[in-house]
Amino acid sequence: MNVSVKPGKLIKGQTGDWEVVIGMEIHAQVTSNAKLFSGASTAFGGEPNTQVSLVDAAMPGMLPVINEECVRQAVRTGLGLNAKINLRSVFDRKNYFYPDLPQGYQISQYKSPIVGEGEVIVELEGGRTATIGIERLHLEQDPAKMLHDKLPSQSLIDLNRAGVALMEIVSKPDIRDAEQAKAYVTKLRSILRYLGTCDGDMEKGSLRADVNVSVRKPGGPLGTRCEIKNMNSINFIGQAIEYEARRQIEIIEDGGVIDQETRLFDPNKGETRSMRSKEEAHDYRYFPDPDLLPLELTQDYVDELKAKLPELPDQKKARFIDSLGLSAYDAGVLVAERESAVFYETVLAGLADRARDGKLAANWVINELFGRLNKEGHDITDSPVSAAQLSAIVGLIGEGTISGKIAKDLFEIVWTEGGDPRELVESRGMKQVTDLGAIEKVVDDIIAANPDKVAQAKAKPQLAGWFVGQVMKQSGGKANPQAVNDLLKAKLGI
């Protein structure tokens, strides 16, 4: 019994509420220069059949030799998932015939995977979290790519991808609704990218998910599951689960039974459809690959990799909260993508007083920068405003040289024209006015011209805001807001 499972959103059927039970197998392409058992390149987008070794093409007498880098990456990933690293693991052959499988078997790990149980904490809406158990992680070969649309009556095969290392990460059936499923993939992807063990590019197929879905009455026995294969978009995963759960509920409520089968999601129609039934399932005839010795690691090796692991999103988030006073939400947003965290930390690095301005910097990155990037379809990696520039803007606000309002103008200028924010503030006279005499004169003039507003403000102090606005307007936004407030309070006697 896994006590950490968070109840998910129940689905209302005609016979009452239904609970969805989801488990996932994520195939993550290992970031490595060479394939799992050969020296051929793993680079994406090469001309077909140009990155193929004799081993990949399964020529007679060719033998696999394990790529140590792939092992290292798998162990690092296991450590990142707080999982048990198995010091002894075994490669097995999964036998089946298909043209995308040159050897006639896929080298995988069946009974003894390299990584055992672990867990991932995922963020849900409203600041909730759920812990999803990891069952195992194993290394295996990617099959080749079939090209069905090049010739009218024949299929072609591109062996470039054949033998590339994949990590299959299998979750426990701890996921309870589409939101949790999406959050799980998002978080896993983030961890892999922090570790640099998988680029997480779902469009290129570097990260694919098989989603097992079943439904049951809350607390009841597990239902029969269907596996939705090869999902390569987080949104589609959510849609497929929603559809599949409802499909199963309808069948059961109509008195039917669920057939255990493999299904495919059609994103155009938003539905899943049967691919093959359990009866058609292969008998893979797994057995230990006699060409490979069991993979044996030392605890020292694992410990060394563990010591060199980068800071992962959960740790980074905790640090942002603890040392910079960020809200859990803001910290979560900043660490979700490795690039965002890197950007934010670069902004931090440029600040003279991180303790004072760290939180302000977070606000600026999340609200101003992300907002703008989203609006204009930019990515954090090609942001028109660099981390150094944003750091300078935040520093100018923090030290009181410019007001928040002016800072927005400055941000606009930097976004569209570029330039050094400090120089821009100088050259364009954007410095905040802190000369009390000058501000006092403006305040006095406005009070004198608006006796009715003065009376109202005295009765209702909240209305003093109108005066602040007027003063800021007259000063072109450059008046120090704190000074304006203090003066108004004194003069209006509130």
Partner 1 sequence: MTDLTSLTIAEAREGLANKSFTSLELTDAHLAAIEAARSLNAFVLETPEKARDMARAIDAKIAKGEGGPLAGIPLGIKDLFSTRDVRTTACSKILGNFVPPYESTVTSQLWRDGAVMLGKLNNDEFAMGSANETSCFGPVVNPWRREGSNTTLVPGGSSGGSASAVAALLCMGATATDTGGSIRQPAAFTATVGVKPTYGRCSRWGIVAFASSLDQAGPIARTNRDAAILMRSMAGHDPKDSTSVDRAVPDYEAAIGKSVKGMKIGIPKEYRLDGMPTEIEKLWSEGAAWLKAAGAELVDVSLPHTKYALPAYYIVAPAEASSNLARYDGVRYGLREQGRNITEMYENTRAEGFGAEVRRRVMIGTYVLSAGYYDAYYIRAQKVRTLIKKDFEDCFAKGINAILTPATPSAAFGVGEKAGADPVEMYLNDIFTVTVNMAGLPGIAVPAGKDAQGLPLGLQLIGRPFDEETLFSLGEVVEQAAGRFTPPRWW
Q: Which is nearer to partner 1, 63 or 455 (CB)?
A: 63
Binding mask 2-41 vs partner 1 (x if CB under 8 A, - otherwise)? ----------------------------------------
Stretch that binds partner 1, among 62-70, 297-305, 385-393, 412-420 (CB under 8 A): 62-70
Question: Which regions of 75-206 does DSSP assign to beta strands (E)?
Answer: 88-89, 92-95, 105-108, 118-123, 129-141, 145-147, 156-158, 165-171
φ/ψ region of 320 (left if φ > 0, alpha if ψ in -120 to 50, else beta) reads alpha
How does 378-399 read in b/e, with b if 16+ C-beta sit within 10 Å?
bebeebebebebbbbbbbbbbe
Q: Which is nearer to partner 1, 63 or 490 (CB)?
A: 63
Nearest distance, CB of residue 99 and partner 1, angstroms: 5
Q: Where are the alpha helices (DSSP H) in 196-312?
A: 234-253, 299-307
Residue 105-124 contact track with partner 1, rule CB under 8 A, x = bound = x-------------------
Among 3, 14, 45, 97, binds partner 1 (CB under 8 A): 97
Choose which of 287, 353, 427, 435 interacts with partner 1 (CB under 8 A).
Answer: 287
**Of 142 and 242, CB closest to partner 1:** 142
Which position has the token pair 């559809």?
243
Residue 289 in contact with residue 92, Cβ under 8 Å? Answer: yes
Q: 97 vs 429, which CB is nearer to partner 1?
A: 97
Q: Is 262 in the site for partner 1 (CB under 8 A)?
A: no
Does position 60 interact with partner 1 (CB under 8 A)? The reply is: yes
Which H or E run includes 18? strand 16-29
Asked if 104 interacts with partner 1 (CB under 8 A), we say yes
- Report which of 220, 217, 224, 226 is spatially closest to residue 244, judged by C-alpha positions: 226
The answer to whether 37 touches 55, Cβ cutoff 8 Å, is yes
| Residue 292 lies near partner 1 (rule: CB under 8 A) | yes
Nearest CB to partner 1, comparing residues 65 and 309: 65
Instruction: Tell me which of 43, 222, 257, 293 binds partner 1, using CB under 8 A.
Output: 293
Q: What angle do CA 21, 24, 28 make, to 5 degrees?
A: 165
Q: Segment contacting partner 1 (CB under 8 A): 53-61, 68-76, 130-138, 310-318?
A: 53-61
Tokens representing residue 92 in the block = 């097995």
Stretch that binds partner 1, among 56-64, 170-178, 335-343, 483-491 (CB under 8 A): 56-64
Query: Interface with partner 1 includes 99 (CB under 8 A)?
Result: yes
| Least separation in angstroms between CB 55 and partner 1 | 9
252 alpha carbon, distance to own chain's centre: 35
Could you give the 3-state DSSP secondary structure of residue 433?
strand
> With binding defined as CB under 8 A, does residue 152 bind partner 1?
no
- The smaller minimum CB distance to partner 1, of residues 58 and 258, is found at 58
Q: What is the CA angle 145-277-152, rounded to 5?
A: 40
**Contact positions vs partner 1 (CB under 8 A):** 54, 57-66, 93, 95, 97-99, 102-105, 157, 283, 285-287, 290-293
